[in-house]
Chain A
């Protein structure tokens, strides 16, 4: 499903310019010629972003923004103003109302793209792609879709690896190759590649930068996303680190055609560990947009195995959660966790990794002893602590409400 952008502007010219710059990114452009119609369209279509003019007849930008930000259903939709009004007083007034950002008219294509990109993730990096590059991506995606092919990005500095993998993947895949990390980053527009085969030892940049960029680029994509780390069989430390980072499938070099096919089959059957789950798996429970991990207590049958679960299994689910664009996690502690030193140590290690993925964590500790224990660790003492899962979940919403 493509992202929707609603442009509310009485100027057909501005609506056309916005469409010209953003439509090539395969987004759906909705238009409204004044604020009154704009609010109606927003209610009906729930766009991902609203671009709003300030000077308009019927309902101007200020009053439209007020309408949008006082409606609980519409309030979360980010609004960026396209305006000639850059007088400080006016801008401050709008930001207080909940305006996300503004683009001063006149603006260039690059200015517009850089302002909307943090909301829409249309491209990776700080430099917008040229019109020709976007056209080439679109053509590539459309050609692959027309041919029923799945797009794969293979990143490796060894030309031979790229060649062999392309051959092994065969006709069913549209394989795009990159010999450097930077070349890979440049090929990562939003939602293009379902598979990423990533060499874990690139000379020009750390592979995790590409992994992060891929996840960011695919954050809003409904396509499946699978990352396969490529590494030497002997590089166990590298593989271990990659697992901790959230890369769960590996193609070990040197590999055979059968190795590649096994990886593909596994992923295609939906057992690939990066495949997006339809709903949260057993470990993490959904509370709206928040995920909750309830640690077992010593009397719980799951307690004995929980030390193992805190490793790969938890990180896989947290990785999937991040892939879904979710970044809020509540962890309910139990006395059983803090009373076992090895388990507590693993918990702190897991917490470190989770925060490294950019996940915001709130803890639930309902005894004074647990709260005191949390103060002993630098990883936990700065974290917000609640007395119940409900209040922790609610505290995320409150922070969002205060922020807006």
Chain B
């Protein structure tokens, strides 16, 4: 597994996982002063009802999505902005959108050499429980658990090469 993946190489699941882990670690160290790490999806408690997603297209295409409980969404926004936020309002939605945007940027930097590997869309936030996502059968589908101090949530990555 390389720290950066060549432009023409097929990216493996461990490469994606390493990119997600590294980007997540950077986000939490720089913006929250917390240590973050990947854990098994099953270790993340609670029903998620907030999903923050960015799409990407280029040498790989797909989407990256954070699945959060309302409490974690509000907690992340509070931590990022340094203010107490308890309602799922536009400020919280924007904050979780920014986190997934930074995560996608970190993954992109991990996968790209000098050239741009893929382009990232602007983030969207979806609210509701039990949402399902569709992806073509040959797409790689990954789900990671993230634990960072008091924050725990899931990260879904779907890619087609």
Which residue of A13, A56, A84, A87 contacts B95 across the interface (Cβ within 8 Å)? A13
| Interface CB pairs A-B, < 8 A, 16 | A11-B97, A11-B101, A12-B94, A16-B81, A20-B81, A20-B82, A84-B104, A84-B105, A84-B106, A87-B115, A87-B117, A88-B114, A89-B114, A89-B115, A106-B26, A107-B30
A11 to B120, CA, bound (A): 15
Asked if B102 contacts A84 (CB within 8 A), the reply is: yes
B contacts, CB < 8 Å to A: 26-27, 30-31, 77, 80-82, 90-91, 94-95, 97-98, 101-102, 104-106, 108-109, 112-117, 120, 122
On chain A, the residues within 8 Å of B113 by CB distance are: 88
Name A84's closest neighbour in chain B (CB-CB): B105
A339 at the interface (CB under 8 A from B): no
- Is the Cβ of B77 less than 8 Å from the Cβ of A84? no
Q: Cβ of B116 and Cβ of A89 under 8 Å apart?
A: yes
Known interface pairs A11-B98, A56-B122, A84-B101; A108-B81 also in contact (CB < 8 Å): no
**The one of A17, A88, A106, A111 that contacts B81, using a Cβ cutoff of 8 Å:** A17
* A contact residues around B94 at 8 Å (CB): 11-13
From A12, A14, A84, B108 is in contact (CB under 8 Å) with A84
The CA of A14 and the CA of B26, in the complex, are separated in Å by 16
Is A12 a contact partner of B105 (Cβ separation < 8 A)?
no
| Chain B residue contacts of A14, Cβ below 8 A | 98
A16-B81, A84-B101, A84-B104 as given contacts; A55 in contact with B109, CB under 8 Å: no
Q: If A13-B94, A17-B81 touch, does A86 touch B31 (CB 8 Å cutoff)?
A: no
For B30, the closest partner residue in chain A by CB is A106
Which residues of chain B are near A87, meaning CB under 8 Å?
A: 108-109, 112, 114-117
B82 surroundings in chain A (CB, below 8 A): 20
- CB of A105 within 8 A of CB of B102, answer yes
Q: What is the minimal beta-carbon distance from A2 to any residue of chain B, in angstroms?
A: 22
Known: A14-B98, A105-B102. A84 touches B81 (CB 8 A): no
* Binary contact readout A108-134 vs B (1 if CB under 8 angstroms, 0 otherwise): 100100000000000000000000000
Q: Are A12 and B122 in contact (CB under 8 A)?
A: no
Determine the distance from Cα of A11 to Cα of B124 in the docked complex, in whole angstroms: 11
